[in-house]
Structure 1
Amino acid sequence: MPLDDTRPLVRTPRPQAGEGFMGYLLRVSEANGCPDPYWLLRALGCSAYALATSGTLKPLADALSLEEVSLEALRHAPASDGPGSRQVRFGSGTVHRSAIIADRSRYCPICLAEEGFFQSVWQLKPVTACPKHGVQLLERCAGCGRSVSWRREELFRCPCGHDLRQSTSQPASPESMALSRVLMGKLGNPLHEVADPALLAEAFTALELADLVDHTLFIGAYVSGRGRGAGRQTMSRLMGDAGIDVFQRVAVILADWPKAFFALLDDFRRHGGEGATHIGLEMEFRSFYAALYSRQFRESGKLGLVRGAFETYLRNHWRGGFLGAKNRRLADDLHDRQRYVPLAKAARLIDMHSGALEREIRAGLIEALILRMGSRTLIMIDREKLEAYRLNRDQMVGLFDARRVLGLSKSPFLDLVRAGIAKAVRGPTLDGYAYWTFRKTDLQQLLDTILSGVPESKPGPDHIEYRKAVRIATYRGLGIVDFVKAILGRNLRVAGADPRAVGMERCYFDPDEFLAFASGERPFANWTASVEEAAAQLGLKSQVTYHLVRSNLIRSVSVSEGGKISLRVPLDAIREFETSYIPAAELAVRYGTSSRHLAAVLQQHGIVPVTGPTVDSGRQYFFSRSRLAMRDASEILEGIRSRIDTA
C-alpha cells in the first residue's frame, strides 16, 4: 500500500559525502522499517527503474524533504539526453554504464564499520581495493557465501543474519590499490596515503575518468580471453573473486606498461596461432584487433593508449606477418616502420631479386624468420639485419668485377683464388655456391700490398711491362701464382707503377732482375701432367677433363715444350680438385639411384651442381663436397636412400 503523499517519512537521514544511491536508499528504508529499498520506491509511487538511470525521483525527494537535484547527483543518470547514450554520470565524471555494479553491494568491511555507509566508488568495477586499509573489496557474505543484494532489510546485515562489518578481507596488491586510488581521486574522493599512485604508468594517471575506465574495461575483457575477448556482457556478469582477479591483472598491466601489455599480446599469438593455416592480424589477435579498430572506438578516438602500444608492438615485436598497404585502420606510417618485412618487400628495398635473396637466406648469409602455415611459407626479415646485409653486400663483387680490380683475366685470377692469395667470401669450392663472391676491400688490400712502396711513374723503354713479363714467365713454366708469390715475398721487385694502367698491369720490372727471377724455372714434367694424364688419374674421360679445365674447375698452366706452348695440369691441382668436388655418378652409386635423378632432387632443394648438362652443358654433374657436407644436403641424400629402400 502506498505511503500517504501528504505525510513525509518518519526518519529522513541525510546523504553522506561520497555515499552511493542504493546504499542511501537502503539506509532510509531500514530507518523507516521498510522491507527493502525497492518496496520503499514502490510505496512512494516511484518506478523501480528509477533507481538505475531513468524515471522521476520527485516523490522520493518530497518524502525526504530534499531537492530532487540532490538525489540526481547520487544516481547514475544518463550523461546526455540523446537516444542510445551509454555514458552515465558517476560522481564528478562520466563512465560507461557497464562499468557500474548496480544489483549488489560491494564493500570494505573496515570502512563500513568506521563510516557507517556504502561508498559510491565501491560500485565502480575497476575499483577492487580499499587504499585506506589495503584490503580487497568484498561482494559476498562471509556467512552464506552469496552475493550481497540490495534487496535486504538491514544495512549492515546479510539476509542470512551475518554482520558484514565482521567480514575479513584479503590484502590487496599494490597495483590494484594504486589503480583504485587514482580512480577515487578522479571521482573527487580524498586520496589515501597507503597506496602509491606512481605504481601506475603516468600515461594512465593523466587520463580523464571515462577514458581510464574504458581502458581498464577493454583490457579486462581480453586479459583472460586469449584474444577472443570476454565482451562487455560477460564482464558485467563477473562476480566476486573472478571480477577482482580480472581487474587486479589489469592493474598489473597498467603498472608495467607497455611491457606487460606486450606480454599479453604474445599470449594472444601463442593461442591464436595454434593449428592456424593462415597468417595476419585477425588470425593472431582475433577479436581483440577487430574490436580495437572498430568504428565505435576509431571515430570517438577512445582507447588511444592501447592502440598506440599495439602499433608499437606491431612495428617492433610482431613477427607473425606483414601489414598490407591497403590496411587503413592502422597509422599511415606504420607500414614503412614495421620491424619485420616480407621477403618480396625486403628484396625491393635492397634492389635484389627475391629468389636470390631467398638463396642467401637458405645459405645462412642473412638471418630470417621462416613461418610455415600448412603448405604455405612466409619469410620475414628484420629491417636492421637487412640493412646490415645490404651494407655488407655493397662491398661485395662477383668474379667479373673482382678481375677488373686486379686487372686479370678469368683463368689466372681463379688460380690466385685457389692458391688462397685472392680471398673469396663464397664460391663453388668454399660453400657450394654457384657464383664466386669477393669483398672489394680484400682485393684492394692485396693490390695495395703488391704495390706497397712502389714509386708511381711511367715505364722507360728498357723496362719489362706486366703483359710481357707474364708471357716470359709462362714460357718458362711459371704461373701467375709463382709470379705474385715472388712479388709478395720480395723475391721479385716491382720497379714502378704505371699511373695509366689498372690493377696489376700497373707493374713493370727491371729487365735484369726479372730475367734472373724467370731463369729459376722448374722442369714442367716434374710438377705437371697433361690433360689426358690428369683424366687417367681422376678416372674421367678426356673430354670431361678438358671441359673441367676450360671451366677453371681444374687449374692449369701454359708451359713451353719443344718451342711450343702447351696446356698442363699441376699435380697439386689434381689433388685439389679431388678434395673439392665429387661426380654425381659416384654419389648415385652410393645412394642407389641414377646421377640424373640425384642431380634433379638436389637442385629442387637449391643445391646446384658446379657443372653439368643443365648448368654449363658439361658432360657430367659435379657437386661441391663442402656444400654436400652441410646438414640439409646430408638429410636430402639420406632421404633419397630411404625412398629407394622403401620402394
Structure 2
Amino acid sequence: MPEISYHLPSRPLPQPRESTLGYLLRLGDRNGHRSLAWVAQIRRQHSRPDVTLNQFLQLTTGHPEPSLHQIYGPSLPALQPAPSHLLGLKTQFWNSEHRRWCPACLRESGYWKAEWQLTLQIVCPEHGKLLQEHCPGCHKPLRWHGGELFHCFCGQDLRQARTPQADGPLQALGQLISAAFVTATGGEPAATALQQDWPSEVATLHLTRLCELLWSLGCYATFSTVTKPQKVQRHHHLKVLLPILANTARLLSNWPAVFDTFLQERVQPGREYALSLRQFLGQQLAWLHRTLAHPEFHFVRQELERFIALHWKGRITDRHHFISHGVKQRHPVISVVEASQQSCLSRDKLVTLVQQGALQGWSADHHGRRDFLMISRTSLEQFLLASGGMLNLIDSAAYLGVSKGRLKLFVERGLITPTYRPSGGKNDPVQWMFQQQVLDTFLTSVQVNAHATPDCGSLISIDQICRGYTRNGAGMVELLQAIQQGDLKMIGHNPAKVGIGGLLLSRQSFRHWFEQRQPEKTVFSLAGAARYLGIKEHVLYWLRDRGLIYDWHQAESKRMTSVHKETLDQFRQRYVWGRELAELSGYGRQSASRALINRGVWPVSGPRTDGGITYVFLREDLEHYLRVERG
C-alpha cells in the first residue's frame, strides 16, 4: 500500500495545549482549505483509511512526534488519537459535538484551545466570561465540520461575538478546571487563589478525578428525583450544564456545611431509625458513595461517613465494607448486644435504663417493625464513667452500712434512686443495681468527720437509735430526712463503724426532737411505749409485770395492750435508769448501778433486787445521794 508522500506547503507547529480538531482546522486554513474536508480527501487520495492521527500529521507535515504532543482532545472519527491526547478522560468529559470558544482568546491567540473542548469548562479562566457555543449571526451551534477557522458557515466572524460575564463561583470553578488541565498536560498552572470556603483537596485532584467529582456532585444536586442522575441528555450544551455546575459550586462553597445540608435533604424523614444503611441513605446517596470510591475523594467520603455516623441511628457492622474502620470504631450507635458486652449488664437492665432515661436508646425500624434496640455509645460511656461501677442490693447495703430491708425502705421513701429495680415478682438482690455515685452523694449529705470519743455518754449513734427508738427502719428514714433538712445536727462519726450506722448525734437534742414528734399521741402500744421511754420491749414487759408501770388498758376488739402517755411521763419523772443514770451519777454506764449499790443506794428493780433485766432507781433516792455526796 503506497505511503502518503504529500506534504502540505504550509506546516505550522501546534500551539501549546491546542485542540486537535482546532489544529487540523488551522492547518487546513493555512493551506487554502476552508473546512476539515481536506483530511478525508487526502486519505482517499492516498488510500490510507487506517492511519492514526499522529501518523497522518507526521506524513502530511513532516513534524516529529514529540512536537505533536502539544495537541489534546478528540479527533475526527477516521483519525484515532493517541491515549495521551485524551488525558485519560471519559468520552462524556470531551465535547466533540460542537465548538465552544472564548471570542476574546480566539481574537488574541488565533487558535482553538483544547481546554474549551472539556465538557465541564464553560468559563474562560482568563476573561471570566461564559464560553460561546452559538454563532452570533445565525444563533445555531457550530459543528467542527461546518464553517471555517474563524467564521461560521453563515459568514459571521466568530471572534466578534459578545459573551456575558460569569458569576464568581462559576469563575472559580473555571479556574480550578483550567489549573487541573494545565497540570495534566505537564505545564505549570498560573497562581490562582482557591475560594477560601472551598475544600483545599480539590486543588490537588487530577483532572480526571476533578471532572468525576464535579459532575457527580452537580448531577446528584440537580436531579434529585431522577433514578439515574448522571444519565443526562444533551449534557454538552451550556443550557444543561449551567444549573449542574452552579449546584456543584454551591456544594463546594462553605464546605462542609452546605454539603451536609444537601445530604440531609436527601434523607427522608424517619429514615434515620432505619435498621439498614441502604434504607437510610436511599438509592441516590448510596450511588453517590459508590461513585466517589477513588482514594482521591477521601475528603468527600469522610464527610459522607461523618454524616452517617452523626445522623444514622443504626449500627455499622463489618458488612459495611465501604465505611472506614475508624468510623466504625467511633460510630456513636451500638446494638443492645454490644452494650451488654461492654457494660456487663443484662439486656433487661439496659432496656430499663433506656426507659428510665439513664441511657439514650431507640428501636430501629426494620420492615415496619421496631424491635431492634440501639444504644448511644456516648451515653453508655458517660453512664459507666459517672457511675464509677455498679453495685447490687447486697453490696450497696454493705457500702451504706445498713440492712437490705432498710435500703429498700430508703428506695420506697425516695432517699435513694436505684438505677435498676426488678419488676414483677422478681426480688433477687443481685437484680437490683445502684450507681456508686448516687450512694456517695447520699452519704455526703449526712456524713461528717470522725469523732475522737464516740462512746461519750452525751452522744447517741444512728445504730443505737435504730435499736432503741425505731422499729422496722421507719424511724431511721425520718431521722435521715431530719438530718438532711437541718432539723438535727450531726456531731461526728464513729470511725469503727461503716456507713450511716456510725453517725453520732447529741443525745439531748435527739430526745427533744423525738419527743416533739409525738406531742399529739396520748396512747401508746407496748412497742410504742418502749420507743418513747428508750428501752427494749422485754424490759417494758418486766416493769409492767412488777407493777412499776401501771394503768394498762386492754382493747377487747383488737386484743392490744395500751398505756397513756401521762403514765409513761410519770414513770420517767419517778425513776431513772440506763444512760441517764450514768449521766446523773457521773459513773460509766456499765458501772453506775454497781457503784450506787455499793454506796447504799438500792434499786427498786434489777438483777440483784427482783431478778429484773435492767437496774431501775428511784429518782428521789439518787438525788438524795448526790446532795449528800456533793455536800
TM-score calculated relative to the size of structure 2: 0.65
* 1:459-498 paired onto structure 2 within 5 Å: 459=455, 466-474=462-470, 479-484=475-480, 497-498=493-494
Q: Does 1:356 align with 2:355?
A: no
Give, in whole Å, the separation in 2 of the partners of 1:137 and 1:23.
16
Seen in structure 2, the aligned counterparts of structure 1 residues 244 and 356 have a Cα distance that, compared at 3 Å, is same
Seen in structure 2, the aligned counterparts of structure 1 residues 355 and 508 have a Cα distance that, compared at 3 Å, is closer
Q: How many angstroms does 1:371 deviate by?
A: 5.1
Seen in structure 2, the aligned counterparts of structure 1 residues 208 and 475 have a Cα distance that, compared at 3 Å, is closer
How many residues align? The count is: 514
Seen in structure 2, the aligned counterparts of structure 1 residues 159 and 567 have a Cα distance that, compared at 3 Å, is farther
Q: Does 1:58 align with 2:50?
A: no
User: Contact 1:477–1:524 (CA<8 Å) still a contact in 2?
Assistant: no
Q: How many angstroms does 1:202 deviate by?
A: 2.1
3-state SS, counterpart of residue 130 of structure 1: coil
Give, in whole Å, the separation in 1 of the partners of 2:447 and 2:6.
117
Match of 1:157 in 2: 151
Match of 1:115 in 2: 109
Give, in whole Å, the separation in 2 of the partners of 1:233 and 1:87.
27
Q: How many angstroms does 1:410 deviate by?
A: 5.3
* 1:387-466 paired onto structure 2 within 5 Å: 387-394=381-388, 402-409=396-403, 412-413=406-407, 422-424=415-417, 440-441=436-437, 443-452=439-448, 455-457=451-453, 459=455, 466=462
Seen in structure 2, the aligned counterparts of structure 1 residues 506 and 175 have a Cα distance that, compared at 3 Å, is same
* 1:28-427 paired onto structure 2 within 5 Å: 28-34=27-33, 36-37=35-36, 39-45=37-43, 55-71=52-68, 73-76=70-73, 88-90=83-85, 94-188=88-182, 196=194, 200-226=198-224, 230=228, 234=232, 237-270=235-268, 279-281=276-278, 284-286=281-283, 289=286, 292-293=289-290, 301=295, 303-315=297-309, 317-319=310-312, 321-368=314-361, 372=365, 374-377=367-370, 380-394=374-388, 402-409=396-403, 412-413=406-407, 422-424=415-417
Seen in structure 2, the aligned counterparts of structure 1 residues 34 and 58 have a Cα distance that, compared at 3 Å, is same
User: Contact 1:416–1:481 (CA<8 Å) still a contact in 2?
Assistant: yes
Q: How many angstroms does 1:112 deviate by?
A: 2.2
* 1:5-20 paired onto structure 2 within 5 Å: 8-9=7-8, 11-20=10-19
Greater Rg over alpha carbons, structure: 2
Seen in structure 2, the aligned counterparts of structure 1 residues 321 and 515 have a Cα distance that, compared at 3 Å, is closer
Aligned CA-pair RMSD: 5.0
- Give the residue type in structure 2 aligned to 1:498: N
- Give the residue type in structure 2 aligned to 1:506: G
- Give the residue type in structure 1 aligned to 2:468: I
Seen in structure 2, the aligned counterparts of structure 1 residues 500 and 166 have a Cα distance that, compared at 3 Å, is same
Give, in whole Å, the separation in 1 of the partners of 2:561 and 2:312.
57
Question: Structure 1: 5+ residue runs without aligned partners?
Answer: 79-84, 429-433, 530-559, 569-647
TM-score calculated relative to the size of structure 1: 0.64
Residues 600-647 of structure 1, C-alpha deviations (whole Å, 9 max, x = no match): xxxxxxxxxxxxxxxxxxxxxxxxxxxxxxxxxxxxxxxxxxxxxxxx
Q: How many angstroms does 1:473 deviate by?
A: 1.4
Q: How many angstroms does 1:514 deviate by?
A: 6.0
Residues 208-233 of structure 1, C-alpha deviations (whole Å, 9 max, x = no match): 33333343344345343439774766
- Give the residue type in structure 1 aligned to 2:344: D
State, as a whole percentage, how many aligned pairs show the same letter: 21
Seen in structure 2, the aligned counterparts of structure 1 residues 34 and 87 have a Cα distance that, compared at 3 Å, is closer
User: Contact 2:5–2:59 (CA<8 Å) still a contact in 1?
Assistant: no
- Give the residue type in structure 2 aligned to 1:136: L
- Give the residue type in structure 1 aligned to 2:52: G
Give, in whole Å, the separation in 2 of the partners of 1:380 and 1:518.
52
Q: Does 1:506 align with 2:505?
A: no
- Give the residue type in structure 2 aligned to 1:89: S
Question: Structure 2: 5+ residue runs without aligned partners?
Answer: 422-426, 526-551, 563-631
Q: How many angstroms does 1:20 deviate by?
A: 0.8
Q: How many angstroms does 1:347 deviate by?
A: 4.2
Residues 553-575 of structure 1, C-alpha deviations (whole Å, 9 max, x = no match): xxxxxxx997999899xxxxxxx
Give, in whole Å, the separation in 2 of the partners of 1:42 and 1:366.
77
Give, in whole Å, the separation in 2 of the partners of 1:567 and 1:322.
67
- Give the residue type in structure 2 aligned to 1:474: T
Give, in whole Å, the separation in 2 of the partners of 1:287 and 1:477.
66
Query: Which is worse superposed, 190-199 or 346-355?
Result: 190-199
User: Contact 1:427–1:436 (CA<8 Å) still a contact in 2?
Assistant: yes
Seen in structure 2, the aligned counterparts of structure 1 residues 87 and 231 have a Cα distance that, compared at 3 Å, is farther
Give, in whole Å, the separation in 2 of the partners of 1:15 and 1:411.
98
3-state SS, counterpart of residue 177 of structure 1: helix
Q: Does 1:26 align with 2:40?
A: no
Give, in whole Å, the separation in 1 of the partners of 2:493 and 2:440.
15
User: Contact 2:217–2:248 (CA<8 Å) still a contact in 1?
Assistant: yes
Seen in structure 2, the aligned counterparts of structure 1 residues 201 and 489 have a Cα distance that, compared at 3 Å, is closer
Give, in whole Å, the separation in 2 of the partners of 1:286 and 1:58.
47
Give, in whole Å, the separation in 2 of the partners of 1:271 and 1:520.
63
Give, in whole Å, the separation in 1 of the partners of 2:119 and 2:469.
93
Q: How many angstroms does 1:403 deviate by?
A: 4.1
Give, in whole Å, the separation in 2 of the partners of 1:476 and 1:208.
81
* 1:517-596 paired onto structure 2 within 5 Å: 522=518
